Every structure is written in C-alpha cells, then in structure tokens.
Chains A and B, each alone.
Chain A
Amino acid sequence: QVQLQESGPGLVKPSQTLSLTCTVSSGSINSGGFHWNWIRQLPGGGLEWIGSVYYTGSTFYNPSLESRVTISVDVSENRFFLELTSVTAADTAVYYCAREFYSSWYRYFDFWGQGTLLTVSS
C-alpha cells in the first residue's frame, strides 16, 4: 500500500522559511484521482489543512495561510514539497503529508505520513 514519509529540518528560526518534503512510495504520485496534501497538528491538538497539489502542479491553499504557502510536486522523484515563509512560534506543529482520494462523489484522506515535528525557535 501507499506510504508517505515527511522529512525536514526539525527546527527553524523565526522569520525563516520552513521547507518540508514528502516522499511517496509503493504508489505513483502522477496517478489521477489523488491530491497530495499537507496538514498540520498544532500543540493543542487541532488539525489544520495547509493545502494540496495535483500531479499536474495545480494547487489549493488554506486561505488563512495562502500568502505564505507554496506547495509543489516533482513527479519524476515521486515527491511533493511544502514551503512556508516568515514562520513564527505559531507555526510550531507536527506536519503531516497525506493522500486525498478525490472524486466528484466523495473525498477523503486515506494514507498519511507518520508526521514530522517542526519547532520554530531562535
């Protein structure tokens, strides 16, 4: 079954740019019918959707984060990426990548990475 694995620096300084990678295995990122998502879990436990990318490069972003977020995809490497600029302590969270099954009739997140903790601190 599909596996997703996040990777990133673990610690970022305030005002810097956060960069994370999600590597997809046992499945092709350019399979139609799936969007590839970033979701974070804040220290209080709440889940927040960041955005998604389709294999063509089309993106959708959470309006509350859109000004700071870029999600991109590398089909040849079967990976997708998150960049979040101007980070603050409020961006400290566990970041998950997840596959979204997408159809006109229903949608859901069926496979998730294990998550990576990103701490913003000087």
Chain B
Amino acid sequence: ELVLTQSPGTLSLSPGERATLSCSPSHTVSNNFLAWYQQKPGQAPRLLIFRASTRATGIPDRFSGSWSGTDFTLTISRLEPEDFAVYYCQQFDSSSVTFGGGTKVEIK
C-alpha cells in the first residue's frame, strides 16, 4: 500500500515569502500520475498541478511542481494572501488512489 508523506505538517510564512512543500512516496511512483491540490476552508480541493509539474488551467505561474529522485516538491515562489491554505499531493497507483496528509500554509 502506497503512503504519501507530506512535510512539513505546517508552514508558517509571511506574504511574499517562498513556500516549499514536500511529498515523499513510500515506494517509487510514476511522476506522470502525481498531482497537487489546494484546499481552503469550506471548499473542495482545487487542482493545481498534474503530471508532477504541469500547471492546471488558470493556475498562476508562482505555483510550480518538480521532482528529484523519488520525492516531489510544490513551490509557491511568492505567497499571496489567497495562497494560505492546505495543500495535498495525490498519486494514482495501479488500481488505487492515495492522498498525502496535507501541509497547511499559514500566515506567520
């Protein structure tokens, strides 16, 4: 069973700062099936990134996804006030779907 470990659990930053979020799979996975979502309170998750590094339609270019070895990273280059939210990574793995536990980006 795949486990996606997200770190840190909480990231306290100020607007304008850079946010770096990590997602580590318990075993090697395909980057083609790794996505990132943003969720704000009371709302459904919103697709940000798919295929590990491709921005979804309408997503600002301050959001970027990358990978190195087996680990994946979501970077927000300069935090805007509307970016403070919870971020989830998610992987499609053979016949199942796994979400990470989430990283909360909060205002410092």
Contacts and interface: CB of A to CB of B under 8 A. Distances in A.
Interface of A: 37, 39, 45-49, 60, 62-63, 96, 98, 105-110, 112-115
B50 A112 contact: no
Contact of A45 (B44, B46, B47, B102): B102
A112 B33 contact: no
Main SS class of interface, B:
strand
B95 interface: yes
Given A106-B32, A112-B44, A113-B44, A47 B56 contact: no
B98 A109 contact: no
B44 A108 contact: no
B72 interface: no
Interface string B73-108: 000000000000010101010011111011000000
Contacts of B63: none
Given A107-B33, A108-B56, A109-B45, A49 B88 contact: no
A107 B93 CA distance: 10
B37 interface: yes
Given A46-B102, A96-B44, A109 B96 contact: no
A95 to B, nearest CB: 11
B85 to A, nearest CB: 12
A47 B43 CA distance: 13
A62 B93 CA distance: 11
Nearest to B30: A106
Given A106-B32, A106-B51, A112 B45 contact: yes
A37 to B, nearest CB: 8
